[in-house]
Amino acid sequence: MPKQSTLATTESVDDYLKAILELGGAEASQVTTNALAGRLGIRTPSVTGMLQKLALQRPSLVVYEKHRGVRLTAAGKRRAWELVRHHRLLELFLHDVLKYSWDEVHEEAERLEHFISERFEDRVAAILGDPEIDPHGHVIPQKYEAGVLRDEVPLARWPLGTPATISSVSDRSAAALRELERLGLMPGVALTVERRNAAGSHSIRLGAHTEPIRVSSDLAACVLVAAPVTALS
């Protein structure tokens, strides 16, 4: 049986761990107190206090350097990835089985992810056929494993005129998700960025359409793209 996270964590601790994982990104950069406070919607003294507490625990979930930021330990990463897996499985389950729309699933998954058992996780995964992708195109980590990284970049950095496929979209803003759906900007969709203006607005041509659509910089910021998958790969 693969070794798994055995520490009991509270909801708040879980939220900190996930936030550190997400803010730290692929390189697991140190995450600042201010960034965490912003992400979690709480004050910086509260963040400092919690990080100091977490750093003192044994085994420790974080490595905390005063004024310099925080990183997850191996144990912290395991729990954080477990929560990400729970979250993404729940999102897919809410969408495919309970027929939620894709802009409704995030909030409910954010709440439930802390409370489901391993049994529940396994049953949901079994019913969904051990899926690899959630409704927003995010990779669902394998059980007991860290997430994998994909060659996806923000739409804002994709070269003009070069074909791309939408890899994933952020699940954090329900309003943004509704607008993305309305415009047809969903995972798997092929597109080409034709123009960007000074304000960051994008002119984008979708698939076989001839008329480009206008996408605001805020909305573009929610989209990650990748090179199209060729038939040979």
Enumerate binding residues for DNA (CB under 7 A). Answer: 10-13, 15, 32-35, 40-53, 66-69
Nearer to DNA, 70 or 223 (CB): 70
CB within 8 Å of 218: residues ≥ 6 apart: 176
Instruction: Convert residues 80-109 into a mask of x (bound to its own copies by CB under 8 A) and - (unbound).
Output: --------------x--xxxx---x---x-
Give dist(CA 225, CA 58) in Å, integer.
40
Residue 17: is it exposed, middle or buried by C-beta count within 10 angstroms (0-12/13-18/19+)? buried
Size of the site for its own copies (CB under 8 A): 17
Q: How far is the CB of 113 from DNA (least distance, A)?
A: 15
Report, in angstroms and rounded to the nearest whole number, the Rg of the chain calculated over CA atoms.
19
Instruction: Convert residues 107-126 into a mask of x (bound to its own copies by CB under 8 A) and - (unbound).
Output: -x--xx--xxx-xx--xx--
CB within 8 Å of 86: residues ≥ 6 apart: 109, 112, 113, 114, 116, 121
Q: How far is the CB of 123 from its own copies (least distance, A)?
A: 4
Amino acid, single-letter form, for residue 104: E
Instruction: Convert residues 184-213 into a mask of x (bound to its own copies by CB under 8 A) and - (unbound).
Output: ------------------------------
Give dist(CA 126, CA 98) in Å, integer.
16
Q: How far is the CB of 197 from DNA (least distance, A)?
A: 26
**Residues of this chain that bind its own copies (CB under 8 A):** 94, 97-100, 104, 108, 111-112, 115-117, 119-120, 123-124, 127
